[in-house]
């Protein structure tokens, strides 16, 4: 790989990683914000949040595809199988100023991924509790309705029985 192409590729990878870190931070922010929205009862806010999350996820997928393509190109240049090349290994292979920034990007992305996963688990718990609450409420309402209907049937049967006695 020529030095200019390598430098251009590494600069482009740096740009993509910078965007990915930014997008992951925004995704984390939205995911954490989601706790309050999910705990609320406004379906419009929940829908708006889901649309924002979907948009950020799509943008992250585009960036990940671009990063993967560049990493494959670099893996080929360094004669390494693409699945074996990660940011840490790439940092060991490239010159300054790229090496430390790739190590830092790797740390940041790993940390953000863990934080996002944790926030998503919290949101899943809140969502599950909300579903459990709705199901319990429905069971109580259906049970009360059935009890009321059964009570009405008993009253009608007693009334019919009284009319037949009279």
Domain limits, the chain: 3-126
Indicate the pTM of the whole model: 0.72
CA 109 remoteness from chain centre: 15
**Structure tokens given for 13:** 């990878």
Range 101-108 average pLDDT: 95
* Cβ neighbours of residue 39 closer than 8 Å, sequence gap 6 or more: 126, 130
Residue 98 has pLDDT above 70, yes or no: yes
CA distances from 92 to 67, 95, 125 (A): 18, 8, 40
Residue 55 has pLDDT above 70, yes or no: yes
Residue 164 clears pLDDT 60, i.e. is over it: no
Q: What pLDDT is attached to residue 161?
A: 46
Average pLDDT taken over every residue of the chain: 82
Determine the average pLDDT of the residues in 8-32: 94
Summarize the confidence of residues 45-61 as an average pLDDT. 89
- What would the mean pLDDT of 42-68 be, rounded to a whole number? 90
Out of 1.10.3470, 1.20.58, 1.10.540, 1.10.357, the CATH code matching 3-126 is 1.20.58
pLDDT at 49: 86
Is pLDDT larger for residue 52 or for residue 160?
52
pLDDT of residue 165: 44
**Res 142: pLDDT:** 73
pLDDT at 100: 95
């Amino acid at each position: 790989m020529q030095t200019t192409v390598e430098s251009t590729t590494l600069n482009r990878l740096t740009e993509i990683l910078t965007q990915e870190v930014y997008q992951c931070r925004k995704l984390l922010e939205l995911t954490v914000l989601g706790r309050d929205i999910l705990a609320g009862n406004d379906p419009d806010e929940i829908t708006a949040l889901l649309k924002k999350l979907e948009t950020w996820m799509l943008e992250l997928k585009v960036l990940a595809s671009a990063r993967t393509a560049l990493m494959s190109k670099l893996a080929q240049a360094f004669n390494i199988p693409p699945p074996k090349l990660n940011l840490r290994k790439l940092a060991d292979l490239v010159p300054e100023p790229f090496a430390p920034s790739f190590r830092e990007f790797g740390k940041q992305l790993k940390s953000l991924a863990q934080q996002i996963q944790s926030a998503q688990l919290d949101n899943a718990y809140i969502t599950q509790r909300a579903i459990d609450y709705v199901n319990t409420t429905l069971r109580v309402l259906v049970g009360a309705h059935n009890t009321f209907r059964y009570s009405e049937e008993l009253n009608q049967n007693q009334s019919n029985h009284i009319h037949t006695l009279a």
